[in-house]
Amino acid sequence: MNPPGNSVLIGVMGATGAGKSTFVNLASGSSLRIGYGLESCTSEVEVSPPLAIDGKNVTLIDTPGFDDTNKSEAEILTLIADFLATTYENGRKLHGVIFIHRISDHRMGGVARKNFRLFRKLCGDDAMRNVVIVTNMWGEVTEDIGASRERELAGNELFFKNALEKGAEMIRHDNTSKSAHRIIKRFLNGAPEVLSIQREVVDERKPVAETAAGKDLHADLEEQITKHRQEIQEVRSELEALMAQKDQAHQEEIEELSVALGDLKSQLTKAQEANRVLHEETRADRVEVEKAKRMAQELQVAEREEELRRVEEQRRQQLKSAEQLSLLRGALAKSEKAVPAQAPQAISSREDRSPSSSGRSNPEPGPEVVSRNNPSKATAKVASATVTPPPRQSFAPPPPRVERRSGWSCVIC
Ligand SMILES: Nc1nc2c(ncn2[C@@H]2O[C@H](COP(=O)(O)OP(=O)(O)OP(=O)(O)O)[C@@H](O)[C@H]2O)c(=O)[nH]1
Ligand SMILES: [Mg+2]
């Protein structure tokens, strides 16, 4: 069930550099990064701000191509599958999926065909009626050449024929926002569909490697691995034979074969690594890892906040102590002013008094309030305050304000 309201979700897929982000930007007015170099640009799934068309709120989902320059097909499939599964778990279905194809491409070679095959497995046959194959870059070809390629793409089983038979549509895009909106409108009145990979990962709890798209990719990677191993074996045998001849004339050939062997080995490693990624962990594992990472971050933030709180508390205590000390000094200065002449006598009379004779059974100390953080200093300060009290007979009591604020009996009083 899609959430109430007029929310519409549309996925945008296709090869790297096909023009997915450009399409999303044109349609939604967003500014997703566009690639102008040879390397892939979008490397994560990105979402456009909602755009209003015919009373609906349309959100476009931009995706990286399976043939990304830096990530393997297994990584891209996992990324897209995780995103779609989470969306579906949150109660959202896609109203449609756009697959972008450059009409300017001279060939639809192995990589392009594999891209589309994975796309089809990811969507499943039922969702094909909600798929639009968008051809772009019409400005790069003559109308005749473009139209001829379009016919070939639509009529050949190796390309789009089967998808079109299952209900997909092929629409031209002229790189304007009007054309992008026209394509989006095609989805607005249809019912949203669950994609095959969403059903498999969420409802059937399959790891990505066990989904139709995952299995297809696994088979392809296994085929690549077998092929690379055979080729490596052949090159090695050839190399050994040449080296056995110890013939200088073959030196150049030996070097070429060594380079070829290195290339094959690195291709083999890549395919093995992609296969490992595909099978490495289930989505549940990945969600757990993400959760653990988030929790670690939250913990770090909580610790920092606690540290800040502690420092602030220390500062508050120091300020309080300084304020009390200054009140103490003020009171002392006032009392000194009141009896300047008799002060020396007062010292001796005070020194002579024992706690019991003074009538105070338990004179309050107070140093910990003056300075909790530096008890020795505090004691010294209070001690210095205690040596200059005014004589009892002429002592005018300090204002009660001092007593109330300090919260402890002032030794001067
Ligand atoms: N002539 C023409 N150029 C286009 C069109 N659409 C995109 N481009 C150009 O194609 C290049 C790649 O476009 P992107 O939108 O980055 O392609 P992408 O599919 O998002 O690429 P990745 O993020 O790498 O997967 C950019 O230089 C765009 O300006 C189009 O319809 N016509
Ligand atoms: Mg992009």
Q: Which pLDDT value is given to residue 43?
A: 87
Q: Which of 139-143, 265-269, 360-364 has the lowest mean pLDDT?
A: 360-364
pLDDT for position 285: 67
Any ligand 1 atom below 6 A from CB of 115? no
Which residue is it, tokens 């050994």? Answer: 240
**Among 23, 34, 69, residue to substitute to test ligand 1 (most atoms within 8 Å of Cβ):** 34
- Name which residue sits closest to atom 1 of ligand 1, judged by CA: 137
Between these two residues, 365 and 98, which has the higher pLDDT value?
98
Give distance in angstroms: CA of 193 to centre of ligand 1: 28
- C-alpha distances in Å from residue 324, one per residue of 193, 315, 383, 396: 72, 14, 15, 21
Question: Measuring from atom 13 of ligand 1, which residue has the nearest CA?
Answer: 19
Q: How many CA atoms lie within 13 A of 332 on its CB side?
A: 18
> % helix / strand / coil in the chain, to the nearest 5?
60, 10, 30
How far is 242 from 66, CA to CA, in rounded Å?
Answer: 40
CA distances from 69 to 39, 100, 298, 351 (A): 6, 18, 34, 89
pLDDT digits (tens, 9 = 90+) for 352-387: 444 443 444 444 443 333 333 443 333 333 333 333
Q: How far is the CA of 78 from the centre of ligand 2 (A)?
A: 17
Tell me: pLDDT of 21 over 60. Answer: yes
Can you name the residues that pair with 193 across neighbouring β-strands?
94
Closest ligand relative to 25 C-alpha: 1
Q: How far is the CA of 107 from the centre of ligand 2 (A)?
A: 21
Ligand (nearest to CA of 68): 1
* CA–CA gap between residue 115 and residue 118 (Å, rounded): 5
H or E segment to which residue 174 belongs: none
Model confidence over 223-256: pLDDT tens digits? 999 999 999 999 999 888 888 887 677 888 888 8
Task: State the chain's mean pLDDT as an integer.
Answer: 81
* pLDDT at residue 275 in the model: 87
Which pair of tokens denotes residue 346?
Answer: 């007062």
Q: Nearest residue CA, atom 14 of ligand 1? A: 19
Q: What is the pLDDT of residue 281?
A: 65
Q: Is 50 exceeded by the pLDDT of residue 396?
A: no
Residue 270 burial (10 A CB sphere; 0-12, 13-18, 19+): middle
Q: Is 287 exposed, middle or buried (0-12, 13-18, 19+ CB in 10 A)?
A: middle
How far is Cα 398 from Cα 413, in angstroms, rounded to an integer? Answer: 7
CA 400–ligand 2 middle distance (angstroms): 76
Listed in sequence order, the residues at least 6 apart from 57 whose beta carbon sits closer than 8 Å to its beta carbon are 5, 6, 7, 8, 50, 51
Question: Which run of H or E residues covers position 357?
Answer: none
Q: From the CB of 33, is ligand 1 less than 6 Å away?
A: no
pLDDT at 391 > cutoff 60: no
pLDDT of residue 344: 46
Q: Which ligand is nearest to the CA of 36?
A: 1
Pocket test for ligand 1, best of 22, 141, 171 (most atoms within 8 A of CB): 22
What three-state secondary structure class fits 167?
A: coil
Q: From the CB of 78, is ligand 1 less than 6 Å away? A: no
DSSP 249-317: GGHHHHHHHHHHHHHHHHHHHHHHHHHHHHHH--HHHHHHHHHHHHHHHHHHHHHHHHHHHHHHHHHHH
Buried (b) or exposed (e) across 333-360, using 16+ Cβ within 10 A? eebeeebeeeeeebeeebeeeeeeeeee
Radius of gyration for the chain, computed over Cα atoms and rounded to the nearest angstrom = 40
pLDDT band at 277 (very low <50, low <70, confident <90, very high): confident
Q: Are strands 56-62 and 51-53 parallel, antiparallel or unpaired?
A: antiparallel
Task: Answer whether 222's CB lies under 8 Å from 276's CB.
Answer: no
pLDDT band at 340, cuts 50/70/90?
low
Ligand 1 neighbourhood includes 39 CB (under 6 angstroms): no
| Ligand 1 contact, 22 CB (< 6 A) | yes
Has residue 89 got a pLDDT over 80?
yes
